[in-house]
Structure 1
Amino acid sequence: MRISTVTMFESGLTAMNRQQGKLMHVDQQLASGRRVVNPSDDPQAASRAVNVSQSMAVSQQYADARISTGNALAQEESVLNSVSDGIASAKTLIIQASSDTLSDADRASVATELKGIYENLLGLANTTNGNGTYLFGGYKDDAPPFVKESGGVAYKGDLGVREQQVDSSRKMPVGDSGVAIFERVHNGAGYVATAGTNNGSVTFTGPTRVDAADSGYGDGYAISFADNAGTLEYTVTNTSTGSTVPGKAGVEYTPGETLSFGGLSITLEGTPVAGDTISMAKAEDQSIFSTLESAIAALDAPAETATEKAARRNTLSTVSRELDNSLDNVLTVRASVGARLNELDVLDSVGGNRSLNYESTLSDLVDLDYGRAITDYKIRQVGLQAAQKVFTEIQGMSLFDRL
């Protein structure tokens, strides 16, 4: 078969180009550090690498969400810590103001301190984050959630709670509603006693839980006083059923007596008059601000008569119990925030391990074995040099050299 000179030249050039292309491909692998530079290098590995890369991107989005959620919860925890400190300080002042050694001026001074705590708590309730949105306004976070009105502080926020997807199967609340923090008591709160508009000087201490297993525990009660032919008597009524508590109807009143019924006990002192009442019921939702307003009003008002002093003491006793319930509620919310922060740490650990697995899988699929690649590079380099050498020698073959 006759082979023309053009054929020899084209064949040699093609061989050199092929060897040079292979060398350049290995050079691209070495430069990029990847075995699969183009999908055609390994279609199956390239397809799996795309899926793994997408999973890594989703995992990173969850990681970013956990960071923003953690920052929001950390700020809330810090605010709640300040709120609990404020309530504890208010409780200390209430105990101080309950002392009979204080004058009206001293109590007015305590009221001034309570006003400072009141304003501080209001400021904390209207805390904003770095974006200028209110922490405790729910979905309505573009305006202060707690607003002063003529009747006290009113909540203008939303009852909803924003949530963030922090993992594939976990959507976590980013905060808490202001109502849940400042206007509720936890479900384990006990009884609160309140005195009506009494004309006598009766005061109470308690109530105290004696037996939560008692069949009447959880019902509401009212102690009413009546004059029976010159003898002051009391009657305890179950306000939940409307019936009189057995053995507590028309009982002669003795100052300093401790009454026990419905799994509760309460100690009464002072001298009531007919028509005076004391009510007891399981604690219901109570605003921290209205509680402090009651205490401030009681301390600002001078008390001269025994009736006025008893009313002030009863108000402070009720306020003290309500502050205890409010503090317990805030601590419960703080515990919830802490639990969520701990959960984020666990999810971060799991997410970190998942990302490492993704990176390892992706590396196995597309990363380059440098030792093998360098060996291939040397082989391709030798192949190209051989092709160039052969082409040079073939180029020199001509019949004209024999003439």
Structure 2
Amino acid sequence: MRISTGQMFQQSTKSILDKQSATNTILAQITSGKKVNTAGDDPVAAIGIDNLKQKNALVDQYSKNVDYATNHLSISESKIGSAETLISSMREQLLRGANGSLSPVERQMVADEMRASLEELVSIANSKDESGNYMFAGNKTNSQPFAFDTNNEIVYSGDSGVRKSVVASGVAIPTNIPGDLAFMNSVNPMGDYGVNYLSSQQGDFAVSSAKITNQATHISDTYTFNFTPNGTGVDLQVLNSGGGTVTTVTNFDATNPVSFNGIEVKLSGTPAAGDSFTMEPMETVSIFDSFSKALALLETPESTNSPQGKSKLAQLLNDIDSGQNQVSTARGIAGNNLKGLESISTNHSEEKIINSSTLSILEDLDYAEAMTEFEKQQLALNAVSSVFSKVGSLSLFDYI
């Protein structure tokens, strides 16, 4: 069999180029520290590597969202905790100011202290985050949520919007607590109606509950309760806003509830003849309104130990307790969300470790094995080059 010179050179050149390519591939792997630098190195492993990198990129984004949500909720929880502590202090101030042994000057001092605390509470409710956005404004983060109106009452200008952050696949965690949820819409401890006691009150009584018991027959209105003498006791006459009689109870007994128009009203104590109060629908109470009314009570000329003052104080304390429970509930929501974020963050960390470990198996280079292979390829390249050099220098004239 004869081998032409051209064929010999072609085969030798191809062999050298193959060995150079293999050597360069190993050298590239050693330089990068990766055994898969292109899809051509290992197509199956390359697909797995690409998928794992995409998963890690997604986990990194989720982790950033977790950090964002955690930061905002931590600040919110801290602010609400401060508000909760302040409310407890203000309740103590109210009880101290309601002490009948205080002089008008001393009572006014307590009222001034409570007013400063109320302004501090409003300031907490108007807190901003690190970006200058109002934390308790719902979705209206650029507008101050709480402010005094012309009647010196606190109004809420935010909304009930809850902003969420996607922290895992299919999981979105709220990152804020709306101001109305935290400070405005606490449950009316009396039920569905609120009571206005009149300054003419003489009897020692209070309304303990006023609830809707039958929606089908309920008529929402402002009702007036008049107690009239009957010789041995008092009768009760309930009037609607038009002055019409709704119901009459002879020989009124506070141990028995009064029912009318789908409403049940319970009283405690003993009303006197001539006493009267009004009742109007009220589903929720605001902690700000409760303290504003408490301030008005402390600053009125009549003593808080008057029959009207005692009834107002009992109602205000219940309203404040309900408001404080609402604030505590809001703080609990923030705390539960933080706990959930902590668990999710742990899951992301574990997933990142697993993905990175698998990724390392697929693409990280075994340097000892690579160096051995590199030396083998280099030796083979040198051998092929040497053979080609010797064969290429042969000439027939050397043998003539």
TM-score range, shorter chain: 0.7 to 0.9
Offset of residue 266 of structure 1: 5.0
Q: Does residue 225 in structure 1 map to residue 227 in structure 2?
A: yes
Offset of residue 105 of structure 1: 1.4
Conserved? CA contact 1:199–1:273, under 8 Å: no
In the TM superposition, 1:47-66 aligns within 5 A as: 47-66=47-66
Conserved? CA contact 2:197–2:312, under 8 Å: no
Offset of residue 392 of structure 1: 3.4
Conserved? CA contact 2:230–2:251, under 8 Å: no
**1:329 alignment partner AA:** Q
Tell me the residue number matched to 1:194: 195
Conserved? CA contact 2:145–2:158, under 8 Å: yes
Aligned pair in 2 of structure 1 residues 278, 154: CA closer, same or farther (>3 Å)?
closer
Q: Does residue 149 in structure 1 map to residue 149 in structure 2?
A: yes
Structural RMSD (CA): 3.3
Tell me the residue number matched to 2:261: none
Offset of residue 236 of structure 1: 8.5
Conserved? CA contact 2:224–2:276, under 8 Å: no
In 2, the alpha carbon distance for the partners of 1:48 and 1:252 equals 83
In 2, the alpha carbon distance for the partners of 1:234 and 1:43 equals 94
SS at match of 1:201: coil
SS at match of 1:137: coil
In the TM superposition, 1:204-353 aligns within 5 A as: 204=205, 207=208, 224-229=226-231, 231-235=232-236, 249-251=249-251, 259=255, 261=257, 266-268=267-269, 272-277=272-277, 284-303=283-302, 309-353=306-350
SS at match of 2:306: helix
1:171-198 CA-to-partner distances (Å, cap 9, x unmatched) read 11111211111111148x4558734324
Conserved? CA contact 1:133–1:141, under 8 Å: yes
Offset of residue 55 of structure 1: 1.9
Tell me the residue number matched to 1:123: 123
In 1, the alpha carbon distance for the partners of 2:55 and 2:114 equals 55
Tell me the residue number matched to 2:82: 82
SS at match of 1:134: coil
In 1, the alpha carbon distance for the partners of 2:320 and 2:185 equals 11
Offset of residue 364 of structure 1: 3.2
Offset of residue 265 of structure 1: 6.8
Tell me the residue number matched to 1:185: 186
In 2, the alpha carbon distance for the partners of 1:297 and 1:399 equals 124
**2:350 alignment partner AA:** N
Aligned pair in 2 of structure 1 residues 402, 106: CA closer, same or farther (>3 Å)?
same
In 2, the alpha carbon distance for the partners of 1:194 and 1:319 equals 11
Aligned pair in 2 of structure 1 residues 110, 273: CA closer, same or farther (>3 Å)?
farther
SS at match of 1:207: strand
Tell me the residue number matched to 2:382: 385
Tell me the residue number matched to 1:159: 160
Offset of residue 279 of structure 1: 5.2
Aligned pair in 2 of structure 1 residues 234, 182: CA closer, same or farther (>3 Å)?
farther
Using the aligned pairs only, state the percent identity: 26
Aligned pair in 2 of structure 1 residues 260, 101: CA closer, same or farther (>3 Å)?
farther
SS at match of 2:148: strand
Equivalent of residue 372 in structure 2, options 375, 385, 400:
375
Conserved? CA contact 2:80–2:327, under 8 Å: yes
Conserved? CA contact 2:234–2:272, under 8 Å: no
**1:251 alignment partner AA:** N
Conserved? CA contact 1:162–1:174, under 8 Å: yes
In 1, the alpha carbon distance for the partners of 2:235 and 2:30 equals 96
What stretches of structure 2 of length at least 5 have no aligned partner?
259-263
In 2, the alpha carbon distance for the partners of 1:158 and 1:279 equals 28
1:210-268 CA-to-partner distances (Å, cap 9, x unmatched) read xx9xx89xx99986421224x441538799xx9769xxx33367xxxx73548997542
In 2, the alpha carbon distance for the partners of 1:36 and 1:398 equals 45
Aligned pair in 2 of structure 1 residues 46, 364: CA closer, same or farther (>3 Å)?
same
Offset of residue 353 of structure 1: 2.2
What stretches of structure 1 of length at least 5 have no aligned partner?
none
Q: TM-score, normalised by structure 1?
A: 0.83
Aligned pair in 2 of structure 1 residues 145, 91: CA closer, same or farther (>3 Å)?
same
In 2, the alpha carbon distance for the partners of 1:320 and 1:278 equals 19
SS at match of 2:293: helix
Deviates more, 1:330-339 or 1:10-19: 10-19
Q: Does residue 168 in structure 1 map to residue 184 in structure 2?
A: no
Deviates more, 1:384-393 or 1:308-317: 308-317
SS at match of 1:226: strand
In 1, the alpha carbon distance for the partners of 2:265 and 2:24 equals 90
Q: How many residues align?
A: 383
Conserved? CA contact 2:126–2:135, under 8 Å: yes
Q: TM-score, normalised by structure 2?
A: 0.84
SS at match of 2:311: helix
